[in-house]
Chains A and B, each alone.
Chain A
Amino acid sequence: MAETATRVVLAKLGLDGHDRGLKVVARILRDAGMEVVYLGLRQSPEGVAGVVEQEDADVVGISMHNASHMTLAPMMVEALRELGLDTPVVIGGIIPDRDVDPLRDAGVAAVLGPGASAVEVVDTVRRAASDGGP
């Protein structure tokens, strides 16, 4: 009997202490039947990439609430590529609309802004897991 579950690594990068949203997302994904490796606060892109590699994760979700997304999100993508991983990166949090396209250009698979519903979160992660992006 082959068992598969979508595996997601969730983390916050750098100096950003707002982890309530990420905890909610972890719970939403868990209740949608996914296996969530929760890393929480103050991670580095290289550290998260190493975890994604060891956990053979299908998606990595990064939460950002400190306006550093234009710096750290591309670094996250780059850290994964350094390890030869093409794992899709989903960014969530306070992301202004005008930053979404530049983030996509930097290799981010999807962006979930404020007000994204639970269904949207699950659908976005599922889509990213199955084909690397929406």
Chain B
Amino acid sequence: MSARARTAPAPELLERARAGERGALARLITRVERGGDEAEEVAALARGAGEAHVVGVTGAPGSGKSTLTGRLVGLLLAAGRSPAVLAIDPTSPLTGGAILGDRVRMVGVADGAFVRSMATRGHQGGLAAAVPATLRLLDAVGHEPLIVETTGVGQVEVDIASAADTTVLVVAPGWGDAVQANKAGLLEVADVLVVNKADRPGARDARRDLELMLDLGHISGHEERAGGRPRVVMATSTTGEGLEEVTAAVEEHRRRIAADGRLAERRRRRRRLEVAGRVERLLEERAAEALDSEAGAAVLAAVEEDRLSPAEAARALLDEVGRSL
């Protein structure tokens, strides 16, 4: 980054980003990530967006999310679109450091797209706290569609489903059997299921288990409530085999939910969740301040001497936070 861009005012950076200057966009994302007043300034400027299709790509570590994302981006670029990728990797809870190793899989296929690596910085659920604000910024400068690749996830990290319009779940052969597929969590929120590494043994078994799970969802009524049966697509991301079908399934899902009103509903829910998340973070900060204050020390001392129960102490501190708001 040039010395000038480091300190340039946000409105100027946004204008330059809209004109296609990637360094300016990159700097704005850094400010969003840092949080605080800088981030709020950028968020206030990046209003009026909300049109771009947000596609989530999620799955277990090593299932091929990054390679698949790279291929998707290549196809989108070839179709004349202007995709941007947010690739999330975990921050070490011990040191605060992170290896952001997603874009190493995208070199050569996704050249020309805007790709930004982002560390979770303590956020749970497979995403980073800065994801919603960064997506709005990418939208505001004209990128579409926006692809968010989550960290490698297990069974319950389903944040992506509320951040994205369309969630693509990537599984690899050998990931588990029909009972695994029937468990609650990630598989429930997928809009498109991709059996990646389809050239490997076990790929057809994986597909069968997923279809079986979807059949049960049909019987139980989940399918109707969710608004349709997710498509299962076989793909080999290293060669690009099946990726056109993945792209078609993603586009088809977007068209379907735009037509039946679920897109608007998802976005309403997303805004509500983002506001709720911000309220939680603000309250957390205030609570930490209250604990460190004189009043907090008094309340903690009362718990220590058994004059207050922890629950009573929490209520007393919450009143303290309420007064400070």
Residues of A within 8 A of B (CB): 1-5, 26-27, 29-40, 43, 47, 50-51, 53-57, 83-87
Q: Is the CB of A1 within 8 A of B35?
A: yes
8 tightest A-B CB contacts, nearest first: A30-B97, A56-B26, A33-B96, A2-B36, A56-B30, A33-B97, A37-B100, A38-B101
- Residue B98 at the chain A interface, CB threshold 8 Å: yes
List A contacts of B33 (CB < 8 A): 3
- Residue B115 at the chain A interface, CB threshold 8 Å: yes
How far apart sit A30 and B36, CA to CA, in the bound complex (Å)?
24
Q: Is the CB of B121 within 8 A of A5?
A: yes
Write the nearest CB–CB distance from B2 to chain A, whole angstroms.
Answer: 5
Q: Is the CB of A1 within 8 A of B22?
A: no
Extra inter-chain contacts (20) besides given A1-B35, A5-B97, A36-B98, CB under 8 Å: A2-B35, A3-B34, A29-B97, A30-B92, A30-B95, A30-B98, A32-B97, A35-B100, A36-B97, A37-B103, A38-B99, A47-B111, A50-B22, A53-B26, A54-B22, A54-B114, A54-B116, A57-B1, A84-B5, A86-B1
Determine chain B's interface SS by DSSP, over half rule: mixed
- Residue B119 at the chain A interface, CB threshold 8 Å: yes
Residues of B within 8 A of A (CB): 1-3, 5, 22-23, 25-27, 29-30, 33-36, 38, 91-92, 95-101, 103-104, 107, 111, 114-117, 119, 121, 285
| Cβ contacts A to B, 29 pairs, < 8 Å | A1-B36, A1-B285, A3-B33, A3-B35, A4-B34, A5-B97, A5-B119, A30-B92, A30-B95, A30-B97, A30-B98, A31-B92, A31-B95, A31-B97, A33-B95, A33-B96, A35-B91, A35-B98, A35-B117, A47-B107, A47-B111, A53-B23, A54-B22, A54-B25, A54-B115, A55-B26, A56-B30, A84-B5, A84-B23
How far apart sit A87 and B1, CA to CA, in the bound complex (Å)?
6
Instruction: For A51, give the chain B residue with the smallest CB separation.
Output: B103
Write the nearest CB–CB distance from A14 to chain B, whole angstroms.
Answer: 14
Write the nearest CB–CB distance from A46 to chain B, whole angstroms.
Answer: 10
List A contacts of B27 (CB < 8 A): 56
How far apart sit A37 and B199, CA to CA, in the bound complex (Å)?
30
